Amino acid sequence: MNAAHVKFPPATARLAIIAAAFGIWEFAARRFGDPLFIAPPSRVAVALFQLVHEKEIISAVGLTCWELVVAFVLSIVLGLIIGLIVGLNRFTRGSMYPVILLLYAIPQATILPLFVLTFGIGPASKIAFGVSHGVFPVIMTVAAGVQNIEPLLLTSARSMGATRRQILTSVIFPHMVPSFFTGLRLGMTAVLFGVLLAELYVSQSGVGHFTTEFTQTFQPQNLFALVAVLATIAVTLNELCRWAESHFTRWRVS
């Protein structure tokens, strides 16, 4: 279409767009922004360097990371167990799957106060709330992974004399791996949403405490910096999941 123009590699163009967005932000914030509500990127960068030297902030971020990891691990373990129970047996699938779908359709945000009432305002309620988000994608993908196996693969294994155990360990489990990793990625996204929402809702010593403080004391540069740190952590965790997914399912791509 625009063959006459010189085209940059897509990655370069992408970086240019991101840089331009920061430029506009910087200009607009300095020119029109109220310093009580918005901070230009340059001031955020300065705030970021100051924040990473504050012990309280570091320990708050550490605590949130701890909550994320524990909630994620619990989601995987519970999701794997329940997913296998539901997926491997026709009867449990028929009876329990609709129940799980129904529970999944409940907006957990509405029962957040219950988590706080039950588990207190410490890390436990954030972890529990994170698990309540993360466990469902893992259940669904694990159950789907053991179900949607090509029947001919099972027939073929049976024709070669595979025992029930061999079919489980050599056919069904490996077949489940890709969807399991998809579940991990979706579960991670959900855990992030759950834990961070619970943190923002109420927190004594996690990051939620500081987001509230920075908002109420009008320190947008610190708020932006803290959000940037958390976003970086979230993206890193996401990328780790994605890497694990592609690493353990290399056989899928040619």
Partner 1 sequence: MTQATPAIRVEGLTQAYGAESDPRRVVALQNTSLSVARGELVALIGPSGCGKSTLLNLMGGLAAPTSGQVLVDGEMIRTPLPRKIAFVFQESTLFPWRTVLENLKLGMAFQGVPKEERDPRARESLNAVGLSDFADHYPSQLSGGMKQRAQLARALALQTDILLMDEPFAALDEQTRMVLGEDLSVLLARTGKTIVFVTHSLVEAVFLADRVAVLTARPGKIKTIIPVNEPHPRSRSFMTSDKLNALRNQLYELLHDEIRATMALGASAGAAETKSLYTVKEEEK
Partner 2 sequence: MTRSRLAERLVQLGFFGAVLVAWEIATTRGHVSALLLPPLGSVYRDFITLLSTGQFWPDLGTTLYELAVAFLIAAVSGTVIGYAVSRSGYSVKVFDPLFAGLYAIPAILLFPLYVLFFGIGPASKIAMGATIAFFPIVLNTIAGLIYVKSLYVTAARSMGASPRQMFWSVMLPAAFPVLLNGLRMGLILAFLSILGSETIASFGGLGHRIVELGENLDTSKMFAYIVFVIIIALLLNSAVSFAESRGRSHPA
Give the footprint of partner 2 on this chain (CB under 8 A). Answer: 1, 7, 10, 13-14, 17-18, 37-38, 90-91, 94-96, 98-99, 102, 105-114, 116-118, 189, 192-193, 196-197, 200-201, 211-212, 214-215, 220, 223-224, 227, 230-231, 234-235, 238-239
**By CB under 8 A, what part of segment 145-174 binds partner 1?**
150, 152-153, 155-163, 166, 170-171, 174
Contact by Cβ (8 Å): 223, 57: no
Smaller CB distance to partner 2: residue 170 or 204? Answer: 204
Element (H, E) at 42: helix 41-51
Q: Does 251 bind partner 1 (CB under 8 A)?
A: yes
User: Which CB, 42 or 249, lies closer to partner 1?
Assistant: 249
C-alpha 67/C-alpha 59 separation (Å) is 12
Token reading at 149: 């196996």
Structure tokens given for 39: 């901070």
125 binds, among partner 1, partner 2, none (CB under 5 to 8 A by kind): none
Closer to partner 1 by CB, 36 or 153: give it. 153
Cα–Cα distance, 106 to 84 (Å, whole number)? 22
CA distance 67 to 196: 10
Smallest CA-to-CA distance from 144 within 104, 99, 179, 182 is with 179
For partner 1, the binding residues (CB under 8 A) are: 150, 152-153, 155-163, 166, 170-171, 174-175, 177, 249-254
